[in-house]
Structure 1
Amino acid sequence: MGRALLLLPLLPLLAACQVLEGTGYRVAEAQLLFPEATERWTYFYGEPREVRLGGRSLRLESATGESLWAVPGALWVDGNPLLREVGPALRLQVEAVRGISGSLLEVRTQTPLRSSWLYDGAGWVRLTGNLRQGERRALVQPIGYQTPELQAFTGSEARVLLREVLARRAGRQVVVFELAEPLLRPLSLDPAPDFYRAGALLVQYGLRLEFVAPPPPLFRILDRGTNAAYPETEARAYLAGNPTRFAEVWNLVVGNRLPRPPAPPVDFRTRSVAAFFWGLKPTGGYGIEVVGVTYAGDTARVVLNLTSPRPGAIVTQALTSPYVLLELERVRRVVFTDPGGRILGEARE
C-alpha cells in the first residue's frame, strides 16, 4: 500500500513528459501563385536545430539580422529569414473582372475559395467570403478599407506576404484569392515538425473589362401582411433552402387565403427564403417593416421594425398574425433583430 501511494505523485509528471515530447519546431508554409511562377515560402518556429530536407541539411537558428521577408518570432534558415523555393506557374481558373460601368465586379472560380480581396491603389477591400467550385459572384465594389484576414496565416505572416504582393504590382490593381486548400504537397522534413500549417494565395494583377450583370438585390420582400396561418402566440423565424421547405413555410403564409396563391419562383442554387412570424395578436394595427439586411459569412442579419397600435387607435377587432417573407442571398443561418440589436428570432437551414 505504501509503495502504491509513493507512485501516485509520479503519474502527473509522466503524463506531462508525454505531452512535452516532440521535435521542438513548427512549420508555416505560404504557397504564392503569381502569374509568372509559383513560390513556396516556408517559415520555421520553435527551438534552433538542424533538420533535413531531401539530401540537404537546414540550419534553423534565431534571427541573425533584419529583412522585409522576416516574420517576428520565426527562425532563420541557413542565414535567411525563410526557406524560399520557386517553381513553374500553376494555371487555375480563378479570376476577377471589372464591369464596364466601373463599380461592378465579378469573381469567378473553378476551385473553392476562402476569400478574395482587392487592392485598388489606396487600400484593401473584401470582395467575397467562401465561394464554391464553379460559383460566380457579382457585386458592387465595397466601400471601406480593411486589413485582409487570411485564415491560413497569422497577422504578422499576412503582412509580410501582402507587402511582397504589392511590391510586384507595378501600379496595377491587385486581387488576392485565398484558396480553400493548399495545392502543393508538404515538404518531407526529417524529423517531422510538431505542426505543419499551409495556405495558398493566388495573385491576379490587373482587371480586364467585361460586361457584368448587376448583382441580385440584398433582399426581396416576397410577401408581407397580417393574416398568416401561423397559429402560435410566440414569434418564430424560419429559413428555407430548398423547394420542399419553402412549400411548408408558404403554407403558413397563405393557409388562410382562398384560393391559395402559388409560391413565387426562387432559385435555391443562389438564394434562400427567410420568414418571420410575429405571432397571434388580439387586434389589427400590428405591422412589420424591414429596415435592412447585412451578411457575414453564411449568416444573414435582418433588422425589423415592429409597430403596434397606439393607445386609443381604431383597429380591427379580430385576431391577426403579422409576418414578412424575404428572399435572401444563399445563407445557412438568419437572425432577426430590432433596430436596437435585440434578437427577435433566428433559424438555421
Structure 2
Amino acid sequence: MNGPGNLRVHEALLYGGTQERITWVYGDLRGSAQSSVKLGNTAVELRAQVPDPLAVAGSLSVNGKATYRLPTAAMTPKLALTHDTQGLFNVTLNEAAGTVYFTDGRTWSRLSAPAGAGLRGTAVAGLRGAGNFTDAEADALSAALLNQGPLAVTVLNEAGVPDAPLAVEPAPTEYRRTALYVLPNVRTVVAQGSATGSVTITPGAGQPGSVQAQGARVTFTELASGTNAAVTDPTVRVATSQGELSALYGLAYGRQTGVPAAPSLGAGGTAVGIFLGQRPTGGYGVRVLGASTQGGVLTLTAEVRSPGPGSITTQALTSPWTIVRVSGTYREVRVVNAQGQSLPGGAGGGTGQTR
C-alpha cells in the first residue's frame, strides 16, 4: 500500500433508519493517476474524485466511487421525538444527549435543547457543526438526507457505537469519526388550537418550478404534504365538500397519532389528494407544479421524486402524498408529469372512488 501524500480519513456512521458507514478519503496523488490504501481488510484504489452528490473538495474516489461505503451494525433506539402542528417538538429519548437536527424534507432546523417538551427549532442550513464533520461533509450529507420526509438526527458519542474504527494502512495523518442516529417518519401530532397552514402558488410563465399543461391556468394552494399516508397503491382522490376533505386528511395522516383538522375548503372549491402509494425506502415525494382546466377537466402537473443510484435512503416504508386546493368545482381530475404523461393512478373522482 503506497498511499497518497497527507492521507486523511473521515467517517460518518449512520444508525437507526439508515445503517451506513460513509468514508471520505483525502490525499495528494503526487502526480500519479492512482494510489492504494487498505481500509479494514480491503485494499482499495484511489483516483481523482468523480462527480457525485457526496463528493467533496479535496477527497479522492475509492474504487471508482465518491466514498467508501459499508453497512453499520444494528443499534437499539437512541432517539424518540414528535413534532406538533404548531411547530413544537417533544423529545422523550436522546440517549447521548446530543444536538438534535430536524428536517421536514425541505429545510433543516436545530432544536434549542437535546430533550424535553415544547422545544422550538432554529432554522439552520443543515448539519454544519454536527460532530467532527467538515462544513463540506455536513453540507453533502444534509443534502443527501433531504426529500425523505420528516426525519430527525442526533449526534452520538462515537466512542460508544458498535462499529470500531477502520484499520487504515498506511496510517493516516488524520482520522475523524462522527456517529449519527437517524429517526425517519417523525410523527406529527395535533397541538391544541393549532391551525393548518397552506401555501398559495400562482402558476405562470417564467416562474421557477412552474410547468403548465394545455388549457386555462388555475391558481392552486398546497394544503399539506408528507410521506406516511395510510395508502398502499397509487391513487388520486378528489374532495368537493368539507366532509370529503376531512376524509382526505384521514388518509394522509392515517398512520400518525391524531389527524390535523382540515382547513376550510371554501364555497365552490375542490381539493385533490395525490398519493404515490407504498415505497420501500425514503427519498420519494410528490409536489404539484402547475394546474390548468379545459372542458371542465382539471389537469395537475406534478413532479415525482425518487432516490437516485447510490443515494442515502432511510430504510423504512413510506407512502408520499400531497393535497392541493383550487377554486371551482371539478369532478374529473387528471395528474400528469412535465411531459404530459399520466401518472399511475393519475385520474381521480370523489373520495370514495378512483378511475
Q: TM class by shorter-chain length?
A: 0.3 to 0.5
TM-score by length of 2: 0.46
**Structure with the higher helix share, 1 or 2:** 1
TM-score by length of 1: 0.46
